[in-house]
Structure 1
Amino acid sequence: MEQVADLAGGHADRPWDKRIRELVRPDVLILDDFAMRQLGAAQADGLYELVSERQGRSLTITSNRAPSDWYPLFPNPVVAESLLDRLINTSHQVIMNGPSYRPNKRPRNPTEK
């Protein structure tokens, strides 16, 4: 599984074209836990290029933050605006409110009743 950090590293060690092609190829690409932390400039630029190259192809994003909270996570406001404009304005948003399912998946402590 590629991470945005790995994608950004492609410019430094030269396999950028190969990495971007691998991520553009699938019919559906899933970005899980999007916007968990701030992005570096190279990460934001790589993500922008990826989303631009995938235009017209399915992209699923999961996030615990509202899209309005994503903007400050990008170091360059111009890149943030352009990228998020592509993501938000061409998407179908499914907002799920309620308790997390994860506590139900957690192993029980044998001392709990």
Structure 2
Amino acid sequence: MPLRDAIRWSDSHPTDTPESRLGRLLESAAGVERDLWILVAAAMLVDVTLTVHGRQLGLVEVNPIARHALGGFGVLGLYGLKGVALGLGGCCRLQLDDRYGALVPLGLAVPTLVAVCINCLLIAYTLA
């Protein structure tokens, strides 16, 4: 590419700034938003399953809200809590611009996946 064409190209494409990189990241994340919602739902189902299995092994739920839901309603209480979290996430998603929509399921997925990992480790340690 001749220098004159390179200069024209650079003028038509602004320099790479943190804002432009963030914009590209958010646009690419918007393309996987549906997959993130599926990941959140699956992780929540696995979390409930592991929680129930851990309780059968003698482990104790440390989250006081989840412990109260389990004590009062059993497994259905946990499913209810997960449903409320998904519902609130869905309501929050409706308030956001599409560029930021993937942040909601991502914000739900990260702590849920951390809880799944902790449950797996605790169950493995208990069984060892």
TM-score by length of 1: 0.22
Structure with the bigger RCO (C-alpha within 8 Å, sep 6+) is 2
TM-score by length of 2: 0.20
Higher helix share: 2
* Greater Rg by CA: 2
